[in-house]
Structure 1
């Protein structure tokens, strides 16, 4: 298991990790610099990604989860 569990790790914690930010930017360009990302910083990553599923294709979300889980 990697250092992150998306069910317990917040978006804010992931945004502090340059490797995680790189993964987000690769699969969802502009997400980490979006003006609304600040509102999601306190949310668990899993919940935030479920909310984003209408805007980001599920295949990209799955790739993000897979790569972050492997860190």
Structure 2
């Protein structure tokens, strides 16, 4: 939680946008906001992919542990 909050705060400070207003600011069609939204989208998908890989590794470890016991 703390790490995510720190990353969120850094991104907010650098870009000057929090997620809600960032999406609505796309109506300005300014290249800087397009870059910020693109980074937001890439970061979101990278996080989802990383969390899926971690969950998969935990699941495989759990299955391996069950195989050793049973």
* Length-normalised TM-score, structure 2: 0.31
Greater relative contact order structure (CA < 8 Å, 6+ sep): 1
* Length-normalised TM-score, structure 1: 0.31
Which of the pair has more CA radius of gyration?
Answer: 2
